Amino acid sequence: MADPQDGWVELVPESALECENPVPRGMEEHLRRMLFRIHHIHDDFVVRKVFPVSLKVNKSNYGFEWKITKSSQKNGAFHMESSVHSYEDLKKLRPASIEIDWEGTKQYAEFAEYILGDILPVEVKGVDRCRCGLTKELLVFRSLDQLMLDLYDNPEMIHELMNFLCNEQIREYEFYEKEGALSLNNEADFVTGSGGIAHNDLLPAEDFDGKVRLKDMIVWGESQETVGISPAQFEEFVLQYQLKVLNRFGLVDYGCCEPLDSRFDLIIKNIPNLRWVSVSPWCNRKLAAEKLQDKYVYVYKPNPSRICSPDPDFEAAERDIRETLEIAKGCAVHIVMKDTHTFCNQPDRITRWTDIASRVAEEMAY
């Protein structure tokens, strides 16, 4: 599968859009992207004959704004600054207010039906992207550099903040469940957090009666921000809190860009409903194959620089796929090209990569 992500702005540029009103313009952009995918991205992603309308949800912060200092470059680097400076500041923490905008969702769906209904069914989707990171939110409070010091100098505060974030995330997802605001996310056009295709026949649960519950869904767990800490610290400060969220769901997809080399044993041991596992460009591919075997989906993400840099190297990209499939022989492999922030305004690069990946996968079919 290839996910253009930020590279979409080059595949379907603003200049290609004809609608001037921002609402139909957004609809047009989605449809043009799907047309581009159908004609130029030759992967296994399924484009269903529907126009999706996402449920509108308004959620406040926890009493602190995300303080960042950005670079002048568009989509460039930024520095996160601490918002919580002392235990006294913890008193300012407050639960987030969550409001489901049923009326706004209905109005947009009716507009989409008016525009597209005679040619394309409109499908309202509830909350279906469930993520359990926690440490990304933690950085809103303490910043990355401060967190690295806190694990030694101020562990009690980190435990208190993680417990707060964990309970808040559980409260949020249970609220959606109670309000009937969840949607199934095991369809062939749904992408897991690590990048794999979510299609499976293990969900919903056997006692599913039409109302979607957390146990009928896939959840994504990750902690990229803590890649520099030890396995013991990861288990103490991160995983124990994530498990309280992850174990409420039917299936778990774990990992993103962080290499999981030192965490494979922990997540495999502690997450019984684990199914997808990220194998990032910085991961030991051989170790991943030994740990995952054929019991979990080996979601391999090649280094996108091979096709996104000013001087792409498609021969190296093909060698990488062949090497990975040989290393992971016997595993259930997803090959996912993502984190593609640019194609240097050459849209055919994504087509070329998917053609190479498909050809190599067929040649090396296990």
Q: Average per-residue pLDDT in the chain?
A: 94
Strands 122-125, 51-54: pairing kind: parallel
pLDDT digits (tens, 9 = 90+) for 268-323: 999 999 999 999 999 999 999 999 999 999 999 999 999 999 999 999 999 999 99
Strands (E) in the chain, as ranges, are: 51-54, 57-59, 67-70, 78-81, 98-100, 122-125, 131-132, 218-221, 251-254, 274-279, 297-300, 332-335
pLDDT digits (tens, 9 = 90+) for 121-149: 999 999 999 999 899 999 989 999 999 99
Q: What is the predicted pLDDT for the residue at 193? A: 86
In this structure, the number of other CB atoms found within 10 A of the CB of residue 151 comes to 16
Mean per-residue pLDDT, 313-340: 96
Q: Which residue has the higher pLDDT, 78 or 210?
A: 210
* pLDDT of 184 strictly over 70: yes
In this structure, the number of other CB atoms found within 10 A of the CB of residue 10 comes to 18
Mean per-residue pLDDT, 95-118: 96
Q: What is the predicted pLDDT for the residue at 244? A: 97
Q: What is the predicted pLDDT for the residue at 208? A: 96
* pLDDT of 203 strictly over 90: yes
% of residues, the chain, pLDDT over 70: 100
Whether the Cβ atoms of residue 222 and residue 254 lie closer than 8 Å to each other: yes
Q: How confident is the model at residue 79 (pLDDT cuts 50, 70, 90)?
A: confident
Picking from 215, 149, 138, 153, the residue whose alpha carbon sits closest to that of residue 184 is 215
d(CA 235, CA 58): 32
Mean per-residue pLDDT, 111-124: 95
d(CA 135, CA 264): 18
Q: What is the predicted pLDDT for the residue at 37? A: 96
Q: Which two tokens stand for residue 334?
A: 């997803």
Q: What is the predicted pLDDT for the residue at 366? A: 61
d(CA 7, CA 29): 14
Provide the CA 62 distance to its chain's centre, in angstroms.
22
Q: In what order do the strands lie in the sheet with 251-254?
A: 131-132, 218-221, 251-254, 274-279, 297-300, 332-335
Mean per-residue pLDDT, 140-163: 94
pLDDT digits (tens, 9 = 90+) for 214-241: 999 999 999 999 999 999 999 999 999 9
DSSP 188: T
d(CA 214, CA 227): 28
Q: Which two tokens stand for residue 249?
A: 């769901």
